Structure 1
Amino acid sequence: MRINKYYLAAFTAFVIWGFFSLALKPIHNYPSLDILFYRVFLSVVLISAINLFLRRDVLKKDWNNFKKQSQSDKNKIIRVNVGGGMLLTANWFIFIYVMNHISVKAASFAYLVCPILTTVLAFLILKEKLSKWQWIAVGISVSGCVLLSFNSFADIFYSLIVALTYAFYLISQRKNTEVDKFVGLNIQILTAGLIILPFFPSFSGPVPVESLFYICLIFIVVLFTIIPLFLNLYALKGVNSSTVGIMLYINPILNFLLAVFYYKEEVTEIQMISYSLILISIIVFNEKLIFNRKLKENRVTD
């Protein structure tokens, strides 16, 4: 099995996100909006500092390249990057709303629906071709999600909204090729920060004083925000949106394993069957790569 650097980047990003609960659980008593505010603001500071002080040459190169573009191309670059930041903000905000006001189950289910939506939307919008085996994988993952949706059909509507925002984000970034990925991520996070800034005075709680909050926040920002988002964008340079989308399943599968084996939460037979089907769908979707078959369509070169 030969895994190129783009597959590895996508795989690593979702493995990292799968352990997000380890940094989030210790500060679960803090309001979700406060965690979001500080997460975004600290991300803006760190990523901007890295680009301004350590990657100034890359910034100048991108700026000079931007000035040389036609007005239509400039508008496209702005639209893709600022729009990406708006989609990220919408995804985070709606996810927190669903988590706090609808149900945790609906919020979790959103990231099981997202890979299916991303794959189908990439096929419809980007005209990405899927093999017979990949369509079979989509069918298997749909079956797993349908099983998990039993007794919570009303939650599906809210789950779809959360899932759609991230699916559209992945698809939009597939065409984001004119700007360095880390610079593009900076623009997107900065956009998110500017959007939520007006809400901070009214909706934030008291300034946290516990050192535990800031220790966990640093891990959340560096390890669970900047690094995986960058890896996600980098992966889209070399693999299809549908492939990155289906790898999203790595995240909930790891969450499920942590819930069972680390947090000792109860698990039902339907949940075991559903997550097993989702794991099988990942293997089937990537069967060419896993079983070292020659890629005949959409082959990626390093």
Structure 2
Amino acid sequence: MQINKYYLSAFSAFIIWGFFSLALKPLHDYPSLDILFYRVFLATVLMLFISLFLRKKVVSNDIQFIKSLTKSQRKKAFFLTIVGGFLLILNWFLFIYAINHVSLQSASFAYMICPILTTILAFFILKEKLSKWQWLSVLLCVISCFILSYGHLLDLIYSVTIALSFAFYLISQRKNSLFDRFNVLTVQMIIASIVIIPFFPKYSGDVPTASLFYILLLIIVVVFTIIPLFLNLYALKGMNSSAVGILMYTNPLIHFILAVLYFKEHIHATQIVSYILILLSIVIFNEKILFKRKSVDV
């Protein structure tokens, strides 16, 4: 099986995110907004430090490159970067709230819907082509989601909102490929910080004093934020948004396994059937790569 570096980057990012709940669930006693505030602020500080002191040359090259662009190109790049920052902060808040105040499975379901929405949006917005096998994969995903959402309409609506925020993020960043991906992510983190700073004095709780909070937060920022986001953006340089979107299904699959085996959440036979369909859809969507067929679209 031939897997290029972009495919491996995307796959690695979603595997990492699949274990996010292990670091997030122990913080369930803390308000969702507090976790979001400290996560964004710490990530921004760390990324700025890395960019300004360890990647000076890369930052300088991007600044020089900006000057060489036309006015319309600069506007487009700035717009996509800013939109990405807003979409990230929205997605993170909704996801953290779902994990800590709804259920792990409800958050997982959002990322069951997201690949379908990403694939469909990429088809209509980015004009990305899909083979008959890939459309079959999408159909299986849709069937799986209908099975899981039966009798849970409100959860479905909430999950769609989370899914759309990340689907549009993937779509927008697929077109935002002019600059170094780490620099783009750093700017987006700065934007996210600017967005939430006005809300911090009013909506933040008491400053956490437990050392466990800061240890877990550092793990969340480095392992579950900076690394997978960079891998994800890097993958979009060489893969279609739809392909990255389908690989996202590794995330809820891991969530589901953790929910059952580790967090002991109750499951039904319909959920097992749905996740088997999801696993099958991943194989079908990537059949060219998995079975060494020629003309792999990446």
TM-score by length of 2: 0.96
Name 2:33's counterpart in structure 1.
33
Name 2:58's counterpart in structure 1.
58
Name 1:266's counterpart in structure 2.
266
Name 1:110's counterpart in structure 2.
110
Name 1:288's counterpart in structure 2.
288
Higher mean displacement: 223-232 or 90-99 = 90-99
Name 1:10's counterpart in structure 2.
10
Unaligned runs of 5+ in 1: none
CA distance in 2, matches of 1:25, 1:50: 28
- Whichever residue aligns with residue 85 of structure 1, its letter is G
Higher mean displacement: 91-100 or 29-38 = 91-100
Evaluate the alpha carbon distance shift between residue 264 and residue 96 of structure 1 in structure 2; reply closer, same or farther with a 3 A threshold. Answer: closer
Name 1:71's counterpart in structure 2.
71
* Structure 1 residue 107 displacement after superposition: 3.6
CA distance in 2, matches of 1:105, 1:152: 12
- Whichever residue aligns with residue 253 of structure 2, its letter is I
- 1:1-302 to structure 2, matched below 5 A, reads 1-96=1-96, 106-295=106-295, 298=297, 300=298
* Structure 1 residue 101 displacement after superposition: 7.4
Higher mean displacement: 88-97 or 205-214 = 88-97
* Structure 1 residue 248 displacement after superposition: 1.0
* Structure 1 residue 69 displacement after superposition: 1.1
Aligned length: 298
* Structure 1 residue 99 displacement after superposition: 6.0
CA distance in 1, matches of 2:260, 2:112: 18
**How high is the sequence identity, in percent, across the aligned residues?**
59
Evaluate the alpha carbon distance shift between residue 123 and residue 295 of structure 1 in structure 2; reply closer, same or farther with a 3 A threshold. Answer: same
* Structure 1 residue 98 displacement after superposition: 5.7
Q: Per-residue CA shift, 1:90-135, capped at 9, x if unaligned?
A: 2223445566777765443211110000000000000000000000
Is the 8 Å Cα contact of residues 90 and 165 (structure 2) preserved in structure 1?
yes
Is the 8 Å Cα contact of residues 104 and 259 (structure 2) preserved in structure 1?
no
CA distance in 1, matches of 2:93, 2:281: 29
> SS at 1:44's partner residue?
helix
CA distance in 2, matches of 1:108, 1:199: 27
Is the 8 Å Cα contact of residues 110 and 159 (structure 2) preserved in structure 1?
yes
CA distance in 2, matches of 1:256, 1:241: 24
* Structure 1 residue 32 displacement after superposition: 1.0
CA distance in 1, matches of 2:102, 2:8: 35
Is the 8 Å Cα contact of residues 77 and 176 (structure 2) preserved in structure 1?
yes
CA RMSD of aligned residues (A): 1.5
CA distance in 1, matches of 2:2, 2:288: 10
- Whichever residue aligns with residue 59 of structure 2, its letter is L
> SS at 1:143's partner residue?
helix
> SS at 1:178's partner residue?
coil
Higher mean displacement: 204-213 or 104-113 = 104-113
Evaluate the alpha carbon distance shift between residue 35 and residue 254 of structure 1 in structure 2; reply closer, same or farther with a 3 A threshold. Answer: same
CA distance in 1, matches of 2:275, 2:174: 28
